[in-house]
Amino acid sequence: MTGTAFAQENKVDYQPTTLSDTVTMIKGRGGNIAVSSGEDGVFIIDDQLKPLTEQLLAAIREVSDRPIRFVINTHYHGDHVGGNETLGKAGSVIIAHDNIRVRMSSDQFNHFWGETTPAWPEEALPVVTFNDRVTLHFNGESVAVHHVPRGHTDGDSIVHFPESNVLHMGDVFFNGLYPYIDLDGGGTIQGMIAAVELGLSLTDENTQVIAGHGPLSDAAGLAEYRDFLVKARDNVQALIDQGMSLQQAVGAKPTAEWDEELGKVWIEPAQLVTFIYNSLTGVDHYTAPFPKEATTE
């Protein structure tokens, strides 16, 4: 998600959930956060929206008042990197995939939102970047950060705490609502499915799974989400194989079985079908399914 959709209200009720001796999930507005706290200090996964940074830092201090030494960004959207500038100025080391620094370093126009996100200031940019995987040996854990190509964006990572048996999926997992696939940011339905498959390979029946958005889940919930993605993709592919246009595919309602449960929270059924259709037909940006909704740069 981008930050502008979430930044209007001021007061947030941050909700911490203890997952292990060292890992806490914090749910507020924007992406879900994981906090690792212990003798080595604190590192966090994602830092939500810029206007909410001070509130978020206060919530983190309720977990631990030790310095935040590291920040991992799961992708470049403003509701996951909004606190970077403040934390970077304070001395936190920001870690992210190579593509996140690239995208944050330049203006990013997005057809779905119909707006341009300006380049972030230098202090907000990741200072340590990686291509495939990086491991943090911190607070008694070997925390593995895995890049998952072209899922929600082209810079996504999932973060595995093997000793705590906790997995943070970032925005390749939307729990309880339809996912946003950022086509302009390099996202694809195929990559989303592959990312979830990798996540599942790191889980067992006791794993606690943090979604990018939505409540805490587990391996069974992640598997159910994978099955939904696969079936939705296959349904849309079948319509493409019949020669249907995007408008016809939307009208055929290939996601009807999930629309009531998942399609009324944020992303609408027609939008999800468009994400999938364009992914499968090689269109690298969002196109409104009906002309009256068209967004142009």
pLDDT at position 7 over 50:
no
pLDDT, residue 151, reads 98
Instruction: Pick 30 or 223 by higher pLDDT.
Output: 223
Tens-place pLDDT, residues 18-61: 999 999 999 988 899 999 999 999 999 999 999 999 999 999 99
Mean pLDDT of 193-203: 99
pLDDT, residue 2, reads 47
Q: Quick one: pLDDT band at residue 291, thresholds 50, 70, 90?
A: low
pLDDT, residue 293, reads 44
Domains of the chain: 3-227 (3.60.15.10)
Least confident of 95-104, 114-123, 133-142, 282-291: 282-291
SS in 3 state form for 169-226? CHHHCECCCCCCCCCCCCCCHHHHHHHHHHHHHCCCCCCEEECCECCCEEHHHHHHHH
pLDDT at position 107 over 60:
yes
Mean pLDDT of 135-148: 98
pLDDT, residue 29, reads 87
pLDDT, residue 294, reads 38
Q: Quick one: pLDDT band at residue 258, thresholds 50, 70, 90?
A: very high
C-alpha 131/C-alpha 151 separation (Å) is 15
- Indicate whether this model's pTM tops 0.85: yes
Tens-place pLDDT, residues 233-246: 999 999 999 999 99
pLDDT at position 3 over 80:
no
pLDDT, residue 9, reads 52
